[in-house]
Structure 1
Amino acid sequence: MKFSKYYLIAFLSFVIWGFFSLALKPLHDYPSLDILFYRVFMCAVIMAVISLFVRVKVLKENVKKFKEMPAAQRKQVALLTLAGGMLLTANWFFFIYVMNHISVKAASFAYLVCPIMTTVIAYFVLDEKLSKWQWTAVLMSVVSCMLLSFNNIADIAYSLIVAASYAFYLVSQRKNAGLDKFLVLTVQILFSALILLPFYPKYSAALPSEFSFYALISLIAIVFTILPLFMNLYALQGVTSSTMGILLYINPLMNFAIALLYFNEQINSIQIIAYSLILISIVVFNERFIFGRRRAALI
């Protein structure tokens, strides 16, 4: 695999997400829906302001480009963009629920399953080819997930829903080409906000009064939502969905380390073995980039 800025950006986006629990866990006393409402609404306001007042030229150029597309392409771009907004909404809600009401490790497990789902879906839907080493890495990931699921059967259903929603998001957005990625993400966030808005009056709790709540929501919106999601969409222009899926393992590995070292959650030997397999699988999947580059340096 040839090193590129897309690969680096994909890697960094998941490193950023790895610290998400540090901002989310302090909000565990608030309902999951409230966190989702304010996260999405905050993102929608910020991105709408940027697109309408800061990136006006880009907005006009892309509106013109969209109108000039063939009808079939316009329909595909519109459907993929709106579907992405729905998938993001579902993914965020279930992730927040699992993180705050099940455990950090359960949320991490969802993103252990997600790379496998992404790789397999991309293989069948996008016809992305994998080498023998990459299939070996996928098999190692499956084994690690099986090990982790033995003592966490009750959490698997939640984990699968979280994983599937983001796996389908990554694969669908790989096919969503032709428009500025930040603008696409803006439309998706605004669509997500429109989906949630009718539910806000009935299902939201009392308006939070603590400054810390809004400070953390702002941090989550900018650093842990807009930035990594834009980096994901940008990286998908140069790397495959399956590569993005495997790099996604960086997120749960960091969550696992934070759960162990910061939140003091209990672990056992099986979990240590499983997460070690995942770390090895990342290296195996990317062996052409890691070792190929080294071989090139020696020549």
Structure 2
Amino acid sequence: MSQTLSGVLAMITSCVVWGLSPIYYKLLDHVPPAELLSHRTLWAVVFFAVLLVLQGRMGELRQALRGRKQVLLLFVASLMVATNWFCFILSIQIGKTTEASLGYYIFPLMAVLIARFWFAEQLAMGQWLAVVLATLAVVILTWGLGVAPWIALFISTTFALYGAIKKGLPLGPVISVTAEILLVLPLWLMVMGWYHLQGQGSFGTDLTISLLLMVSGPLTAVPLILFSYAARRVALSTLGLLQYINPTLQFLCAVMIFGEPFSQWHAIAFPLIWVALAVFSVSALRQDRASRKAVMVASGVSTQVTKSPSDASANP
């Protein structure tokens, strides 16, 4: 199996796990989101710690937690991803999985806006058109339902900000995420302790529930590891297209398994989002091809310039 194919399969697997995760969280919809998030944090730390010990990489983790600026960025990133996780879990528990999937559809377009106004990146016409279409979809949904899709906007914004912060961190994904959740672990341990002191803690009351809570660690860690594996072997444009598997499966879970309502306003807004993503993807693919072509041309020019006279005569 080629490295590209194994990377694609790893990316598909991670997106399928993320996309079907609402089914798992629905099994724990009686556990308050804050308590569930505290267990997700704890067991993810345990999973990553064991992994790093086995790999002999604990020194990298200690190094990542040095330097005031880097620790501050990691802490802010952890707040962004914790908010994202909380909104996602809450959306499933209150029957808003459809809105959560909308958030992850909007995320790439929100990331484009942040890239434009934070990193001063230039956007192609197709990318601007995609943003306009997505904005129109949100406006239509807000008008039709009488309320803005706040969960979708929170999920897309926090995840885009999380990605922007991570862009400035010179750390691998496993080390970075372990450091992030380790920094906020004391807070979530206090949350967990508070629930147990109130006699409302879910862990230990039932074997099945306790095991499901422990599974939240691998459920957080394994897709991330697969994504990291894929990112090193697959073109960024391919990763961008494959990531839409995640919100698509979430959407199908919401409508076909959970039976959430899908109004006429959703029927207008979602196709607009899908068109926006199609336009965005085509534009991204064109940019990627143009960039690679420019690199190849530059490389060819560089090769011609550095050739010796004897090389030139031997290879006309």
TM-score scaled by structure 1? 0.77
Letter in structure 2 aligned against 1:55:
Q
Task: Extract unaligned runs of 5+ from structure 2.
Answer: 290-316
Partner of 2:293: none
* Aligned mates of 2:64, 2:97 — CA distance in 1: 43
* Aligned mates of 2:64, 2:251 — CA distance in 1: 44
Letter in structure 2 aligned against 1:20:
S
Q: Does 1:27 align with 2:18?
A: no
Find the partner of 1:279 among 271, 274, 279.
274
* Aligned mates of 1:271, 1:40 — CA distance in 2: 33
Partner of 1:59: 58
What CA deviation, in whole Å up to 9, does each residue of 1:141-161 have, x standing for no partner? 222222333344446334433
* Aligned mates of 1:148, 1:18 — CA distance in 2: 23
Question: Mapping of 1:1-299 within 5 angstroms?
Answer: 8=8, 13-51=14-52, 53-56=53-56, 58-60=57-59, 74-154=67-147, 156-177=149-170, 179-204=171-196, 205-208=200-203, 209-223=205-219, 225-230=220-225, 249-287=244-282
Superposed displacement of residue 30, structure 1: 1.7
* Aligned mates of 1:237, 1:78 — CA distance in 2: 25
Q: Given that residues 147 and 270 in structure 1 are in contact (C-alpha distance below 8 angstroms), is that contact kept between their aligned partners in structure 2?
A: yes
Q: Which moved more, 1:85-94 or 1:9-18?
A: 9-18
* Aligned mates of 2:83, 2:236 — CA distance in 1: 20
* Aligned mates of 1:117, 1:278 — CA distance in 2: 12
Superposed displacement of residue 290, structure 1: 5.7
The structure-2 alpha-carbon separation of the partners of 1:22 and 1:207, relative to structure 1 and needing over 3 Å to count, comes to closer
The size of the alignment, in residue pairs, is: 282
Superposed displacement of residue 292, structure 1: 9.1
Task: Extract unaligned runs of 5+ from structure 1.
Answer: 68-73, 295-299
CA RMSD of aligned residues (A): 3.7
Counting aligned pairs with the same residue, the percent is 25
Superposed displacement of residue 242, structure 1: 11
* Aligned mates of 1:81, 1:242 — CA distance in 2: 27
TM-score scaled by structure 2? 0.74
Q: Larger Cα Rg: Structure 1 or Structure 2? A: 2
- Helix, strand or coil at the partner of 2:149: helix
Superposed displacement of residue 23, structure 1: 0.8
* Aligned mates of 2:280, 2:108 — CA distance in 1: 11
What CA deviation, in whole Å up to 9, does each residue of 1:167-195 have, x standing for no partner? 21011101112x33211111112123122
Q: Which moved more, 1:150-159 or 1:18-27?
A: 150-159
Letter in structure 1 aligned against 2:256:
L
The structure-2 alpha-carbon separation of the partners of 1:254 and 1:284, relative to structure 1 and needing over 3 Å to count, comes to same
